[in-house]
Structure formats: structure tokens, C-alpha cells
Amino acid sequence: MNLFSSIANFFSPPSKTKPFDGLSGMELADALLYNLVTEDRVPGISTTILKEGRTLLQKGYGLADIDNKVPIDPKQTIFRIASISKCITGLALGKMIEDGILDFDDSFYKHVPYYPKKKFEFTLRQLAGHTAGIRGYRGKEFAMNEPYSIKDGLDMFKNDPLLFEPGKGYLYNSFDFVLLSLAMQEASGVPFEVYVYKNVLVPLEMHQTFAEPSQVDVGQQSQNYTKTSAGFKRAITVNNFYKLAGGGYLSTSVDIAKLGQAVLERKLLKPETYKELLTAQTVNGKSTYYGLGFQVSQDSNDDPFLGHVGSSVGAYTNLFVYPEEQLVIANLINCTDPKVQEQLDLVINAFTHLHS
């Protein structure tokens, strides 16, 4: 680039946002997502939206790598998917149940007898539904950069008491899924990531979903950012492998939409297994709005959805599945919680039409 073109670029007006007047459906969603990047709300976002199995919108907005100006490709760009990982784990748990390896109501200690004994025992169902009483992150634990195995990860919390009697409370956290994945690994005799790969990712043709960044082609992996007053900067380096089951997987929006479509079509598992996974747990007679690895909740319009919202270092993610609408919405953002859920809800509302 020569001096004159540099000067021209410097003085050229910034990219204009798109107006919403008169827009609806896909055009409105496209404008909303475009504006999130144009207004510097996010570095980049990948979206895939399916209706009755057909692709309505599949597009990348913004950049996977700001410094090198690498655009986002919804089929190829790999993001951290954060807690959408719990949905993958839920399906793997269901498969183990069907294969007779585990039972939902097995005591955790049946499979991991070496875990320090607590005042109460707790079950795999309670771990998967966040009602086991295990504590959440403290301090910087969410941002560890240690090459821990799943078993190594226990050292952070294994000696802490339960916060409540299992089944008598609800606390959403990722340590539940560290324990769950360890029980699954011990019961099957197969490394957790290997079991998931063979029994969930391959059957669902999620070929761009990975357990570790080292498995990803460097050119396909998005950089991870955090937002500052001065713009976006590279997020700190973290190693999420020990909590793979709860927040460690990497994927594309296309693959995450495949996951949502599989849930919609009840692929992979039997209807009765899906019923277990997708029924909200109750505590003291009240719904937790969480099944087993899946949120079973309501969106901003109070419409019921299945799926998960995820937030981790360098990532913010949505998987929303609407059975009545036969609709799947997958949005992946390469930035630590950028506070844009309200805008993502408007994207969702553009497609649901439940209140039109």
C-alpha cells in the first residue's frame, strides 16, 4: 500500500451500520450481526441458522485474526465453544447409559472410589444437572493455563465440602462436568475425548470439532480476544483440556448447528434417553431450567428453547434449538463476554416468528 492510499484510508469515513427499517427475517438478522462488527462490539462472529434442516443463514462477520485481517469462514473457522461443550457431553452420557456402561443414578463413587468422601454421596444425574453441591470457580480458576489431565483438575476442588445436600440445591458450574467426565472415563475404560469422538462427533459428522487446539490447523483457528476501552486485545493463554466436558471443545458454527439439528431430530439416542436429557430438573418443587447437559429454558420472549449459552476466555457462544419451530441457531464469537446477548436475542427473534 503506497503513502497516498494510506492517507486516503486514514481519512475515509468508517464503515456505516445498516439501518433496520423495514427489515425482517434473514435480512434483519444479517444487519444485526453485521452491525455488531461494524460498531466494534465484537471482533468477529460466525453464524449458522437452520430451519427444518435447511440452511437459512450461514455467514462469517468480521475477523478471525485482527492483525492479519483473516476473515471468518463459518465452515472452517474454529472457535472455543465454551459451555456448549456440555451438550456434547450430555449426548455422550446418554450413549453410555444406552450401552449399559453407566446409569444416570449411579453414585459418583461407584466409578471414582478414590475421590475424597463428602458428607453425602451424589449421583451422575446430579452432576449433569448441577444439583450435586459442587462449588464453582474461585478467583482465577476459570483461566488456568496448566496442562492438567481430567484427574489432575480435581486438585483444585476435591478437598472442599459440598455447598448443599445433593438434590436440595442448584449451582451451575463446570467442575460438575470435570467429575462427570472422569466417571465416564473410568467406567468405559476409554479416554473421555476418545469416547466422545467415536460415539458422538463421528456419527454426527462433526468433523470440525476438536478436543485440543493442537488438533486444529493453525490457519483455521480463530484468535481469542478480550474487549478493552482501547479496542480488542489478545486474550490470555489458557488450557481448558481438564474441563473439556464442561467448556473445552472447539468447533465451527456449522458443526454446532449439526449438533442442534441432531437434538431436533433425536439422532444418535433413543427418545426415552432424550427425554431424560431434555427434562428440566426440579429442586424443592421448582424448575432449574436445566436438564442434563442442556439448558431447558426460555428466551427473551419467554419462548421455550433447548441448548446452551457459553462464556469463556476469548469466547461467547449460543446454541438455541426450537423444536416447535424446527429452528436451530448457532452463533460463535471470538471474544470474552462482549455483552451482546441482547442483540443476539434480536437475531433469534427475527427467525422465531412466535410473537409476530
Query: 48-96, pLDDT tens digit by residue?
Result: 999 999 999 999 999 999 999 999 999 999 999 999 999 999 999 999 9
**Res 355: pLDDT:** 42
- Cα separation, 175 vs 308, in Å, equals 17
Q: What nine digits make up the cell of 15?
A: 464503515
- Cα separation, 341 vs 346, in Å, equals 9
**Res 353: pLDDT:** 64
| Residue 59 φ then ψ, to 5° | -160, 150
User: What is the SS3 string spanning 240-251?
Assistant: CHHHHHHHCCEE
Give the pLDDT band of residue 15 (cuts 50, 70, 90).
low
Give, in order, the Cα–Cα distances in Å from 138 to each of 227, 246, 280.
22, 16, 27
Pair 35, 18: CB distance under 8 Å: yes
**Res 307: pLDDT:** 98
Instruction: Provide the H-helix boundaries in the chain.
Output: 3-11, 25-38, 85-98, 108-111, 124-128, 150-153, 175-188, 192-196, 244-247, 253-265, 271-277, 341-352
Q: What nine digits make up the cell of 290?
A: 436445566
**Res 210: pLDDT:** 98
3-state SS class at 306 = strand
**DSSP line for 50-76:** EETTEEEEEEEEEEEETTTTEEP-TTT
Pair 345, 335: CB distance under 8 Å: no
**Res 152: pLDDT:** 97
Query: 89-143, pLDDT tens digit by residue?
Result: 999 999 999 999 999 999 999 999 999 999 999 999 999 999 999 999 999 999 9
